[in-house]
Amino acid sequence: MASSSETPFSIAVPESQISLLKQKLALATFPDELDEAGWLYGAPLADIKRLAKRWEDGYDWRKHEAALNAELPQFTRDIDIEGFGALNIHYVHKKSKVDGAIPLLFVHGWPGSFIEVRKILPLLVEASPEHPSFHVVAFSLPGYGFSAAPTKKGFGATQYAELGNKLMLALGYDEYVTQGGDWGFRITREIAHIYGHKHSKAWHTNFPLADPPSIKRPLLLLSHLLSYLPPLSYSASELAGLKRSGWFRTMGQGYFMLQTTRPQTIGYSLADSPVGLLAWIYEKLTEWTDGYPWDDDEVLTWISIYYFSRAGPAASLRIYYEVIQGSGANTFSTSQPTTIPVGYSYFPQELARLPRSWTKTPYLVFEGEHDSGGHFAAHEKPEELVGDLRKMFGRGGGDICSTYSLVKNHGISDEHITGALEAGKKFFALDTSLKMELDIGKSTNFKGYTALLQENVNPTGLGDLHEGFDIGWEPEGCDPLRLTTIADSAMSGTNIWPDNLPGFKEAVLAYYHDAIGIGRLLFPLFALALDLPEDFFADKITRPAAIMRILHYPPQPRTSMGEDGRQIGIGEHTDLGDQFARWTNDVFKSTPHRAINRSGKARYSIPLFFGTDYNVPLKSIPTCVSDEFPAKYEDITAGEYVKSRLAATYAVVH
């Protein structure tokens, strides 16, 4: 059994528990405190006395209980976890009114709870044509809030990930994205590792972590050691982040050692003493935020959820022991990156604010940096966090940017751009009979003219609504890159040129060679993004199978974008194609797309399809495969692959 049916849930703490809490608070014994100690030794005595008195006499749990029930649609259901049986899990679930909304699993950490979704929930489900909307699920971790706790040892990261994935599937979300900080980072990363691609499509965290530079990443280590040099210096925000991280490592991690090694021992104090629980959590709420103005009742509501929790406050500590002892000290690192898109939000008072170069991964598609905020981003900075999620998952966001980008300052002269476009306009203005003399069907290497509807990117659909003129690599004379094999000539070789357009060939080739140069400049960046040596692709693009197409789109009828808004106009762009997606084992995405001319007048474009040398084997790049994500595609040479695609595209004429 994967899960039971959903049961609506309302918080209803027994009156006996509230009475017992007040009795314990009335009998509390407080320690003394050194003069002018402030926060140096921990939570100040005056703060704890004030909060304890308010909790005993003035705080109205029933009022806040009712508000939580009114604002958060809550449910429970049994989720069966392999080796542990069924756990009854409490969760918040609210669907957007937008049919095409994105399912999002929000995962909290310690000392948070499901309450952390409270402020971001209405923002995430909000319907607007300006940004995406989300169906939101936020579950209470086992042993937290109103979820049952495991009763057996060994409930680690794998089990938390299994729970989150099974909950989403039980709710009908076969595909979803995730967001989390603190333990939410570790759990959503595990979900991405185990269930990525099939179910988890992307993840976002406000707590990006990584191993410090080491010999395992020699270039990063060298850069770190030379960071005193201006070109390699860390930014001001990164230096401030390292200082904050140093403070946390030396002054703020005492709780971590206790909860990681002896959770049962500290658990007695938290379970029996509401004042002890109050001080233990209040310290973190204050020191882990960025000057957030906590209201006393706000603090007490957070802590009351722990005190009144189904399994008791001590149960929440065991995740530290189980995950850390089960996974090792690097359980929070990114030394093994996930292979689905990930986004980061940076807040300056986060506990571990690391330089971007440390947390970089080939799959990073979004970064958002903020000038204030700390560890509890969803509570402290709800608008900023939701804004980042909207950017990452919205039009032109991270998912799009994993395929599309814009190259600025490319250096191609306006003269060459205009010259090629004007040459194309003159060619397409020729009589059809003259253009058909250069019909691509007469070519053995896919060069020449394609008439309207003659090309078909989707062989099962209608022809494409444009006419085109295709050229490719054409070494001349004593060019050292002259073609040397019969195989090469299948993709390159002599182009076909019109005889009756003086200057056409020269204008087109001038732009073609400029565009080839830009292609060569981009490949070192791709190599670095894939954790490869910068020159990895250098010997693979000496004679690129680079096809350039001059295209003419006649005016087309305007079409509706559709209610789901999935038809996205992106304008000028650079994108990654099927060949690169195959080569990178789908680390780089190739998104099918086509131009639709809604302008009401003729449109012209000149795309360059930059490929590798013909004989380069498209064997999955080593950094893009692992035991967890083996190679998906059979080996094939680049030329054979591209030739097969072109043959299918122009099947109607070949």
Give me the active site residues, please: 182, 321, 375
Separation of CA 267 from chain center: 36
Coil, helix or strand at residue 649: helix
Token couple for 305: 């959820």
For tokens 């444009």, name the residue.
Answer: 466
Amino acid at 177: V
Instruction: Answer for the pair 649, 455: CB distance below 8 angstroms, yes or no.
Output: yes
Token couple for 216: 């395992």
DSSP 620: P
Report helix, strand and coil shares of the chain as percent, to nearest 5. Answer: 40, 15, 45
Instruction: Answer for the pair 76, 310: CB distance below 8 angstroms, yes or no.
Output: no
Phi, psi of 519 (to 5 degrees): -55, -45
Report how many helices (DSSP H) and strands (DSSP E) the chain contains, helices first.
23, 16
- Nearest CA to 21 out of 406, 313, 235, 222 is that of 313
* Residues forming a β-bridge with 369: 346
Burial class (CB in 10 A: 0-12, 13-18, 19+), 401: middle
For tokens 């789901």, name the residue.
Answer: 564
Instruction: Report the alpha-carbon distance of residue 164 to residue 103 in Å, rounded.
Output: 13
Instruction: Report the alpha-carbon distance of residue 375 to residue 359 in Å, rounded.
Output: 17
Token couple for 625: 């495969």
Phi, psi of 548 (to 5 degrees): -110, 140
For tokens 């957030």, name the residue.
Answer: 292
For tokens 């060019």, name the residue.
Answer: 479
| Dihedral (CA of 189, 319, 169, 173) sign | negative
CB burial of 424-443 (b: ≥16 within 10 Å; e: otherwise) equals bebbbebeeeebeebebeeb
Amino acid at 87: L
Instruction: Report the alpha-carbon distance of residue 419 to residue 421 in Å, rounded.
Output: 6
Angle value at C-alpha 546, between 541 and 551, nearest 5 degrees: 160
Instruction: Report the alpha-carbon distance of residue 415 to residue 421 in Å, rounded.
Output: 10
| Dihedral (CA of 96, 102, 103, 109) sign | negative
Cis peptide before 622 (omega within 30 of 0): no
Instruction: Answer for the pair 285, 374: CB distance below 8 angstroms, yes or no.
Output: no
Q: Tell me the H-state helices in 530-611.
A: 578-583
Q: Is 396 left (phi over 0), alpha (psi -120 to 50) or beta?
A: left
Instruction: Answer for the pair 635, 618: CB distance below 8 angstroms, yes or no.
Output: yes
Angle in degrees, 0-180, between the axes of helices 274-287 and 296-307, rounded to the nearest 10: 130
CB burial of 116-132 (b: ≥16 within 10 Å; e: otherwise) equals bbbbbbebbbbeeeebb
Coil, helix or strand at residue 6: coil
Instruction: Report the alpha-carbon distance of residue 141 to residue 110 in Å, rounded.
Output: 10
Phi, psi of 253 (to 5 degrees): -105, 10
